[in-house]
Amino acid sequence: MNGREILIAGGGIGGLAAALALAQKGRKVRVLEKAAEFGEIGYGIQMGPNVARMLERLGVLKSLESAAVFPDALIFADALSNDELSRISLGDAFLERYKFRYFVIHRRDLHGGLLDACKRREEIVLSPSHGLKSFKQEKDVVTVTCDNGAGYEGAALIGADGLWSPTRQAVIGDGAPRMAGHYVYRGVVPDAQIVDRSRIGSMTIWGGPDLHMVQYRLQGGAVMNNVATICSRRMRRGEPNPGAPDELEELFARTHPGVRDNLRYVSRERNWVLHDRDPATNWTEGRVTLLGDAAHPTLQYLAQGAQMAIEDGVVLAEKVAAVGEDYHRAFMAYQRERMNRSARVVLSSRFFGEYIHVDGGARELRNELARGRDPHHPWEVDWLYKGIDVNDRL
């Protein structure tokens, strides 16, 4: 299709997924990335069957298989006792129910697969060192100014520029995201260094009072991804140094020795502070809309942040393909289809963040309920894993 290119602010997982989906519909796309190189930082990422379906649609799923690991189960254990409370089996019954497998992968490998696919599309131009500074709209054009002084005219603008999105501030103007008070420490170590191998083939999460630990393998099983999270009591009390390494050690002191020993695998050099936002009622202004964390940032407890961004990109491309050049109409249809699903992820993630971190009587109740679950029916996330029916209805 001829016409102006669609501009995408942000070359992360969501921005590249949207670019690839739009290119498949014949649209010209320019991805404006603030960093000097397109790349991804971070550690492991969990990929449910809902997003595996989207990655197949984008033509990249098979290329990711060599770097992926396919766990045999999702295990939830008590961090104080180390007892397994429940599991979701990821075998044949899971595959039959959802049609796609659950896998884990390094964020760099996922991003790299999307980036390679984008580089093979002549419709896509990748522009590093071009962070969005500002934009303005006229009747049929969006003019973007980048922080390096460059300017572009596009048919539309998609803000996929993350948690601190400048596009969001221009469209919604709702200020800073909500700080959850959860601090995350991560580490990736060679698989051979892992001492306790009793759950080596699974994705395991240990939940405890104001803490949890996650382990699963990456890069075809060569390394182990380790994540330790604490809900800072210092932050709640207004004390200094919330989430510092000594608070990590302090909160994990109550845990089972086998769980506490896993702290050896996480780095103390830095931590990540979790944020989200209350669900919005509008992401669109004229020919500008938001995608991924810019639209609906979520906590990590359903492992769906990147997955929602990829779903966004596929749905958005379908709506654009259905309407010709009426981008406002397409974007309004896109947000109508995405808002309630992404809001449910945001709010459910908050709930699960509370659920895994409880103590006292609440912990006793949680454990009793968890022990009664059917490993072959993940009812809590069934609505999520069934995925979406992507279509072009407006």
Distance from chain centroid for Cα 214: 16
Q: Mind listing the domains of the chain with CATH numbers?
A: 6-44+107-176+277-372 (3.50.50.60), 180-275 (3.30.9.30)
Chain segment 42-51, per-residue pLDDT in tens? 789 999 999 9
- Alpha carbons 218 and 225: distance in angstroms, whole number: 6
Which DSSP string corresponds to 160-201? ---TT-HHHHHHT---SPEEEEEEEEEEEEEGGG-S--TTTT
Tell me which residue of 181, 270, 264, 180 sits closest to 226, measured CA to CA. Answer: 264
On average, the pLDDT of the chain sits at 96
- Total residues belonging to the chain: 394
Tell me the CA distances in angstroms from 71 to 218, 239, 314, 340, 383, one per residue in order.
10, 40, 26, 30, 21
* pLDDT for residue 392: 67
In the predicted model, residues of the chain with pLDDT beneath 50 are 1
What residues does 216 pair with on adjacent strands? 225
Strand partners, 289: 158
3-class DSSP state of 84: strand
**First-residue to last-residue Cα distance in the chain:** 20
pLDDT at 3: 78
Residues 246-259 have pLDDT tens digits of 999 999 999 999 99
Please say whether the beta carbons of 276 and 349 come within 8 A: yes
**Residue-wise DSSP of 207-251:** EETTEEEEEEEEGGGTEEEEEEEEE-HHHHHT-SSTT-HHHHHHH
The pTM score is: 0.96
Q: Are 170 and 134 in contact (CB under 8 A)?
A: yes
Helix (H/G/I), strand (E/B), else coil: 152 = strand
pLDDT value, residue 41: 77
Q: Which has the closest alpha carbon to 207: 70, 79, 301? A: 79
304 CA to centre of own chain: 5
What per-residue confidence (pLDDT) applies to 393? 67
- Share of residues in the chain with pLDDT > 90 (%): 95
Structure tokens at 260: 């506490």
**R_g of the chain, CA atoms, integer Å:** 21
Instruction: Identify whether the C-beta of residue 40 lies closer than 8 Å to the C-beta of residue 67.
Output: no
